[in-house]
A = this chain, B = another copy of it.
Amino acid sequence: MNAKNLIKRVTIIGAGNVGHNFGKAFRQAGYVINEIYSRTQSSALLLSQTLNCDYTTDLKSIKSNTDLIILAINDDALETVINQIKIKDKIIVHSSGSTPLSLFNDKGFKQYGIFYPVQSFSKNETESLENIPICVEGNNDNTENLLYSFAKSVSTKVYAMDSKKRKALHVAAVFANNFTNHMFHIADDLLKQNKISFEIIRPLLEKTAGKLKTETPLGAQTGPAVRNDLKVIESHMEYLKNQKDYQELYGLITANIFKAQKKK
């Protein structure tokens, strides 16, 4: 199936990071951005100018001459927004990792689904979706096939995945992205306290991610917890005694590494 025969015009609900990235990628792939919706006029206007399309701040009045409505908004706003959408005969999808397909159940939509990109988008830069994995799900085979084909037209890595698996993936992504980034923040903070440049640990960061090209994270693990180097661990815990949050995290993650290595 070629999505472009059935999906030509796309409406984007939300003008944040995800909306920006979607808009540019869809336009680039040859789709018409029919309309942008945002709660705030300035955001809606900004993105509509970038994409050279119409915009609205009124959900009830979104134009019906569209083929796909894609929600690019925070998870906790999804239900409220979905309840306000009057157009029921077009395909509607959300882009959330955690929210099940069933959120669309019994709202009167005929065709609905998920278009979830496994990426963390930045405010400042738009990127091609080409190498970003996209997970799709549909309320029936026809919808799922259509969404698969649509996703394939913007990304080379498309996965059909049910809501349960997608949630597991989203939890994993939080560990692999948000939590690792927080570890980097703690490192940065500890370095700043000592007037040491973050640059000094950059080769280490690059090595850590690089190793995972050829090894599993469990196999690639190094450090005092793996060596069972209790002297070092104690001295680090002592170092962090006045920074209880960091000390607590240090202790808990170290204990977790012990356990993971034992199970190996």
Contact = CB atoms under 8 A, between A and B. Distances in A.
Nearest to A184: B217
A207 to B, nearest CB: 6
Nearest to A96: B232
Given A168-B191, A229-B76, A245-B259, A159 B209 contact: no
Nearest to A186: B175
A50 interface: no
A67 interface: no
A131 B216 CA distance: 25
Interface string A178-200: 11111111111011011010111
Contact of A206 (B203, B204, B209): B209
A248 to B, nearest CB: 7
Give the most central of A98, A183, A221, A226: most B CB within 10 Å: A183
Interface in A219-264: 220-227, 229-232, 235-236, 239-240, 245-246, 248-250, 252-253, 256-257, 259-260
A188 B257 contact: no
Main secondary structure of the interface of A (DSSP, over half): helix
Interface residues of A, number: 88
A173 interface: yes
A122 interface: yes
Tell me the number of copies of this protein: 2
A212 interface: yes
A209 B209 CA distance: 8
A3 interface: no
A158 B118 CA distance: 39
9 contacts: A76-B229, A120-B207, A133-B199, A169-B196, A177-B208, A177-B223, A185-B221, A249-B252, A252-B252
